[in-house]
Amino acid sequence: MSIDEVLTTAVSTINQLTKYENKWNLKVKVLRRGSITTYSNNKGTREIWKVILVDEEGTRIQALMFSNVVTKFSNLFIKDKTYFVSNGIVKPVNPKYTSAHKDIKLALTILTEVKKT
């Protein structure tokens, strides 16, 4: 099965995702494309990028990308464009920080696939 077939079949909604799941397909529209920012910690200097996505039900979720994943997707996730996004890690939100969804967020990884619709 080609990547195009995988990304366009068995599409879930955001509300169907469960914490720590890493095999899923979403069709989402980009609501907000944040700036790529740099921060430092004990692991060194890293880039972080946050985007807010919405599915066809109107449910919003924040997607986070770090370092090499930022580079991989920097030309994608254009505001108001729709994409198929496949795989990544569904994580619980940290209540110390604001998030688009009350329970979960997406951590996109180097294994995540994105295709413009």
Residue type, 109: T
pTM of the model: 0.88
All structural domains of the chain with their residue ranges:
3-116
Q: What is the CATH number of domain 3-116?
A: 2.40.50.140
Among 12, 17, 13, residue whose Cα is nearest residue 93: 17
Confidence label for 7 from pLDDT (cuts 50, 70 and 90)? low
The pLDDT tens digits for 50-62 are 999 999 999 999 9
